[in-house]
Amino acid sequence: MVIVMEKHTAENNVERVMAELIARGFDVHRSTGVEQTVLGVVGDVAKIDTREFELFDGVQEVVRISEPYKLVGRTFHKEKTVVKARGVEIGGPEVIIMAGPCTIESETQMFETARRVSRAGARVLRGGAYKPRTSPYAFQGMGVEGLKLLRAAADESRMATVSEVMDISQIEGMLPYVDILQVGARNMQNFNLLTSLGQIRKPILLKRGMSATIQEWLLAAEYIMTGGNYDVILCERGIRTFETYTRNTLDISAIPVIEKLSHLPIIADPSHAVGRRDKVMPLARAIVAAGADGVLIEVHNDPEKAVCDGPQSLYPDQFARLMDELRIIVPAVGRRL
Amino acid sequence: MNRSDAEQEINRIRDAIDRVDEVIVRLLNQRAKYAIEIGEIKGVLGLPIYAPEREKDVLHHVEKTCEGPLDGASMRRLFERIIDESRSVERKAANRD
């Protein structure tokens, strides 16, 4: 961190800032220029709130040079993290496709969808048992009974499972059935939930909040990792913008940005981003082309009858066609499918 | 001076610089030992590590003592870094006990 003092500020202003820094246990590298003094702050500056020092008399600017996060960043962990879930490696050479319905509804729906998507090449089966619905009158999910269907359908098609956890109280009950626990966009900054997920030893798929900056998202991942759970997968799912034609705007640029800032695997969800089936396929192609480690995509065996998010779910045939297209793209970005 | 003489001369001067650096390093460590002693005393007496008045005196002193070819301002800048490191070792010594 660097503190830039105002031009020709009084010496006692510089001294007050230095005294405060030193009293807090930081080392200071002072550089007195002809007009302006600059203080380099050395130590664990992540815990400093820069605003505190901006308020000192004579301070022009406080500049953070290091990131406020440690465990998620590339600085201290150069190697890419590969998260393993039931034999599926996310973050390795293979682009991992996670597919399935928004909501678990019935045995037929889960088994049929699992068979179709796994035949097309999906490795992870998705399906929600606890649904964060905008309206309290909408279907809220099947709970543990749904998770049992998810597990059985995935086992039959030899897939791993991913499902959303909404509350601390659900974690324990989900562990026997779910290989990757998903934190939804609305819960990205539910810090109590994140802290609890740091205590378990199962991969977490952390979706980006719909108005979260990349830094806030990475700090949310840091919450999980400080608990000792290092298996975190980041998932871009669209952010709120001024555009109303699509539900959200998928931030494709987040993929290469995360790739640079963090060693954690980054995947993206085109279905929730755009909210319309006809736009899902081009976005999925763009996600893979941008270098993502995976795609999380909604597929329903019978979208017209889906209780939730039918219009954004792909038909199984569409999904198979998409997989064929992705197989053409992956070699161009040095990956396989 | 021909080319090979010049190269020899550069090497001779570089050797001389290395010898001077060794003396500087020894003296800086000597200085750091004093700083550590002061840090220990400050720790016992509970005095603040950062003593801006004393730092000003030190800089003023070296500036005054400096006879060139480095000018006073250059010497001040060099000593700012020496003081930064002294403060750091003092703080560690004060917190040790």
Instruction: Please indicate, yes or no, whether residues A120 and A9 belong to a single structural domain of this protein.
Output: no
Q: Which residues of B touch A (CB under 8 A)?
A: 48-50, 52, 76-77, 80-81, 83-84, 87-88, 91
Query: What is the residue whose two structure tokens read 């913008």?
Result: A241
Where does the pLDDT of residue B97 fall: very low under 50, low under 70, confident under 90, or very high at 90 and above? low
Tell me if B52 and A27 make a contact (CB, 8 A cut-off).
no
> Rounded to the nearest 5°, which phi and psi values hold at A207?
-80, 150
Residue span of the structural domain in which B61 resides: 3-96
A213 and A316 inside one domain? yes
Domain count, chain B: 1
Q: What is the CATH number of the domain that holds B70?
A: 1.20.59.10
Residues of A in Cβ contact (< 8 Å) with B79: none
Question: Which of A15, A29, A31 has its CB closest to that of B52?
Answer: A15
Q: Are residues A10 and A124 in the same domain?
A: no
Residues A153 and A290 occupy one common structural domain: yes
CA of A69 vs chain B CAs: smallest distance (Å): 25
CB A96 within 8 A of CB A83: no
Q: Do A151 and A21 belong to one domain?
A: no
Dihedral pair phi/psi, residue A244, rounded to 5°: -110, -10
Whether residues A300 and A158 fall in one domain: yes
CATH assignment at residue A54: 3.30.70.1140
Q: A105 with A230, same domain?
A: yes
Name the residue facing A27 among B52, B77, B84 (closest C-beta): B84
Whether residues A28 and B49 touch (CB distance < 8 A) is answered with: no
Q: Which domain holds residue A213?
A: 83-333
Residue A33 and residue A140 share a domain: no
B50–A27 CB contact, under 8 Å: no
Query: What is the number of domains present in chain A?
Result: 2
Q: Is residue A173 situated within a structural domain?
A: yes
Q: What are B17-34's pLDDT values in tens digits?
A: 999 999 999 999 999 999
* Domain-located, residue A78: no
Do residues A182 and A328 both lie within one domain? yes
Of residues A177, A93, A82, A85, the one with CA closest to residue A124: A85
Q: Is A100 helix (H, G, I), strand (E, B) or coil?
A: strand
A123 plus A257 within the same structural domain: yes
Residue A60 sits at φ, ψ, to 5 deg, of -90, -45
Task: Give the pLDDT of chain A (337 residues) as one tens digit per residue.
Answer: 899 999 999 999 999 999 999 999 899 999 988 889 999 998 888 788 889 999 999 999 999 887 778 899 988 788 999 999 999 999 999 999 999 999 999 999 999 999 999 999 999 999 999 877 778 787 778 899 999 999 999 999 999 999 999 999 999 999 999 999 999 999 999 999 999 999 999 999 999 999 999 999 999 999 999 999 999 999 999 999 999 888 899 999 999 999 999 999 999 999 988 888 889 999 999 999 999 999 999 999 999 888 888 888 999 999 999 999 999 999 999 999 9
Cα-flanking dihedrals φ and ψ of residue A314, to 5°?
-80, 150
- CATH number of the domain to which A212 belongs: 3.20.20.70
CB A103 within 8 A of CB A271: no
Query: What phi and psi, each to the nearest 5 degrees, are found at residue A262?
Result: -130, 155
ipTM at complex level:
0.80
Amino acid found at A269: D
Quick check: A320 contacting B, CB < 8 Å?
no
Phi-psi domain of A54 (left: phi exceeds 0; alpha: psi -120 through 50; beta: other): alpha
